[in-house]
Structure 1
Amino acid sequence: MKRSIALLIPAGLLVAAGVLPVQASDSRYPVSYIRKVEITEPSGRTAWENKDFLDCDDVVLTQEDVLFALRHMRRVSRSAYDPEKTDSTGCEGSATVTFKNWKNLAMGIEPNGRILALEYDAKMKVAGSPTSFYECSPCRDRKMTLLKDALYRADKRRFKRLVAEGQLSAGEAELRLKRARDSRDRP
C-alpha cells in the first residue's frame, strides 16, 4: 500500500505541472492583494515610437490591462528586455498599483507585453531590487487583438508613404493592405 502511494505522489505532481500555465505571474504581486490601481499616464511615447507600426495615440492603458498584466507577467533579464534586441512599439502607458500592505508598484506597460516595474514602500522610497523587467505574451495577444484597427491605419499610412515615394504602385499597395488586414483577421 505504501509503495503505491509513493508512486502516485510523483505521478500526481507531473499531472499538476502539466495543468499549470506556462506563463506564471510574479507571486510578489498578487492581484487579490491590491488596494488600488491608478493609471498615471494612459498613453505615452518613448524614443522608440514607430508610427508605421502603431500610433501611440491609438493605445490607451486601462485598469483591466494592468490587472491582466499582473496575472500573466513573467520576469525576464535586462538584456532580454533591451529594445534594440526585441520588438518595441515605442508606446507605453504608466500605472501605480498600491497593495494592502502599502507596497507600491510603478509600472510601464507597452501594448506588446513588455513591462517595467519599480517597487516603492509606503513613503514612496525605492524598496527592494532595482527596476524589474517583464514579458507578458498573453498581454500582447490581448492588446494587439484590440488594436487591429489601429494597426490597419498604421499599415495604410506606411503604404501611402511608399506610394508617394514611388516605391510601390497604388494597386500593389491596396493589395498588400488587404493581405495585411486578412492576415490579422484570421484566427
Structure 2
Amino acid sequence: MVRTDSWRDAALVTGAFVALLWVLEVVDSATGHPLDAYGVQPRTEEGLVGVLVAPLLHFGFDHLVSNTIPVAVLGFLALVTGIARGLLATAIIWVVGGLGVWVFAGSQTNHAGASVLVFGWIVYLVVRGFLTGRTAEILIGVAVFLLYSGALLGVLPGQPGVSWQGHLFGALGGALAARLTSGRRET
C-alpha cells in the first residue's frame, strides 16, 4: 500500500524537478541559449558533461513543453512507492541513458532533454511491477503500459531531430533500474 506521506513527498520532489527544468529553460532562453551546448556530444571530452546535465536541458520551450507532463506523471509514479528507490532508479536511467548516447550516437550531434528519463521511467515502472509482484506496483505498471506503450516506438530511428538513442538507452536504463531495485533475488 502507498502511504499518504509518500504521495506528498513524491509530488514535492517531482514538482521541484519540473520547476528546475523550467527555471533552467527560462535562464537559457533569456541568455541566448548558451546551456544548449552542454548536451551529450558523443565521444568528445566536453560531451561527457552532458551525461550529467543533458536531462535538465531542453532545446527551447516546445521541447520542454512536450516533456513536462510525462516527467510530472512518470517521475511521480517512480517516486511514490519509495523516494530513495525512485531516485536510485532515476540515477541509473540518467547515467545509462547518457553514456549510451555518448558511446553510440552519431558524431557531431548534441543530445539533451528529459525524454531519456521519460523512456526510462516507462520501462522501469512496467518491468518493476512484474518483478516485485506487489499489487500497487503491478497496477502502476499496467496503467503506464496502457498510457505510454505507444511512445516506446520512439526508441526506433526515423524522426529527424529526435534522439532515438536517448530514448533507447533511457529505456534500457529503466529495465536495468527495475532489475537492480526490485528486491527479488534469483535462487
TM range (shorter): under 0.3
Q: Comparing both structures, which one devotes a greater share of its residues to helix?
A: 2
Of structures 1 and 2, the one with the larger relative CO (CA 8 A, separation 6+) is 2
TM-score by length of 2: 0.27
TM-score by length of 1: 0.27
Larger Rg, first or second structure (1 or 2): 1
